[in-house]
Amino acid sequence: MPSRILLGPLLGLEGDSRYTICLLSSKDTEAPQAVVDGTAFPAALVEETPRGVLWRAEVDVSIHSKGRFVSYRIESGQNALKDPESRSAWNFWIPGRSEEPRIAYASCNGFSDGDMKTKLEDPYRMWKVMRDSHESAPFSLLIMGGDQLYADEIWHSRARAPSLVRWARLPLKDRIEAAVTPRLRRELDSFYEDVYVRHWNQEAMSGMMASIPSLMMWDDHDIFDGWGSYPSELQNCPVYQAVFAAARRYFELFQLRSSRNATLLRRGGTHFSFGLRFRKYAILGLDNRSNRSETAVMNDQNWSDVKGWLSDLRKRLQPSKGSISTLLVLAANPVVYRDLRTAETVFDVTPWQEELTDDIRDQWRSRHHEGERMKLIMNLMEVGGRPTQSLLFRKVILSGDVHVGCLGIIERSGADAPTRTIHQVVSSAIVHPAPSWYQWAGVLVGSSDEPESLEGGTITAAMIKPYGADKYLRTRNFAALQEGTDGKLWVTWFCENGAKAEYPIAN
Do 376 and 296 form a contact (C-beta atoms < 8 A)? no
What is the average per-residue pLDDT within 84-96? 96
What beta strand segments (E) does 404-475 contain?
A: 406-414, 417-426, 452-454, 459-464
Q: Strand pairing of 459-464 and 90-94? A: unpaired
pLDDT of residue 384: 63
pLDDT of residue 166: 95
Spatial separation of the C-alpha atoms in residues 79 and 88, rounded to whole Å: 10
Neighbours of 353 (CB within 10 A): 13
> 3-state class of 412 per DSSP?
strand
Q: What is the DSSP letter of 104?
A: E
Could you tell me the strand order of the sheet in which 274-278 lies? 274-278, 281-285, 326-330, 394-399, 417-426, 406-414, 459-464, 452-454
CATH 2.60.40.10: which residues of the chain? 1-98
Q: Among 98-107, 156-165, 233-242, whose mean pLDDT is lowest?
A: 156-165
> Which amino acid belongs to residue 400?
G
What is the average per-residue pLDDT within 44-56? 97
Do 106 and 145 form a contact (C-beta atoms < 8 A)? yes
pLDDT of residue 347: 46
Measured in whole angstroms, the distance separating CA 35 from the mean position of its chain's CA atoms is 28
In degrees, rounded to 5, the angle at the alpha carbon of residue 36 between the alpha carbons of residues 33 and 39 is 75
Q: Name which of 247, 21, 30, 250 is nearest 239 in CA terms.
A: 247
Spatial separation of the C-alpha atoms in residues 36 and 423, rounded to whole Å: 37
Q: What is the DSSP letter of 435?
A: P
Do 240 and 220 form a contact (C-beta atoms < 8 A)? no
pLDDT of residue 475: 96
Q: Name which of 357, 327, 309 is nearest 424 in CA terms.
A: 327
DSSP string, 262-325: TTBSSTTSS---EEEEETTEEEEE---STT--SS-SS-HHHHHHHHHHHHHHHHH--GGGT---
Which residues make Cβ contacts (< 8 Å) with residue 159, sequence separation at least 6?
Answer: none
Per-residue pLDDT for 37 more than 50?
yes
Q: Among 169-178, 191-200, 211-220, 319-328, whose mean pLDDT is lowest?
A: 319-328
Q: Name which of 228, 419, 410, 259 is nearest 335 in CA terms.
A: 410
Q: Name which of 262, 290, 258, 259 is nearest 276 in CA terms.
A: 262
Q: Among 131-145, 308-322, 487-501, whose mean pLDDT is lowest?
A: 308-322
Which residues make Cβ contacts (< 8 Å) with residue 89, sequence separation at least 6?
Answer: 71, 72, 73, 80
CATH 3.60.21.70: which residues of the chain? 100-505
pLDDT of residue 500: 85
Q: How confident is the model at residue 498 (pLDDT cuts 50, 70, 90)?
A: confident
* Average predicted confidence (pLDDT) for the chain: 91
Q: How confident is the model at residue 84 (pLDDT cuts 50, 70, 90)?
A: very high
> 3-state class of 69 per DSSP?
strand
Measured in whole angstroms, the distance separating CA 329 from the mean position of its chain's CA atoms is 11
pLDDT digits 0-9 by tens, 390-424: 445 799 999 999 999 999 999 998 766 677 899 99
What is the average per-residue pLDDT within 78-85? 93
> For the CA atoms of 40, 9, 482, 146, what is the dihedral angle to 10 degrees?
-140
Per-residue pLDDT for 344 more than 60?
no
Q: Note the pTM of the prediction, 2 decimals.
A: 0.94
Do 270 and 290 form a contact (C-beta atoms < 8 A)? yes
CATH 3.90.1280.10 applies to domain 100-505: no
- Quick one: what percent of the chain has pLDDT higher than 70? 92
**Total number of residues shown for the chain:** 507
pLDDT of residue 457: 81
CATH node for 1-98: 2.60.40.10
> For the CA atoms of 311, 314, 315, 316, what is the dihedral angle to 10 degrees?
120
What is the average per-residue pLDDT within 166-176? 95
Q: How confident is the model at residue 499 (pLDDT cuts 50, 70, 90)?
A: confident
What are the backbone angles phi and psi of residue 123, rounded to the nearest 5°?
-55, -30
Q: How confident is the model at residue 340 (pLDDT cuts 50, 70, 90)?
A: confident
pLDDT of residue 390: 46
Residue 25: its H or E element? strand 18-26
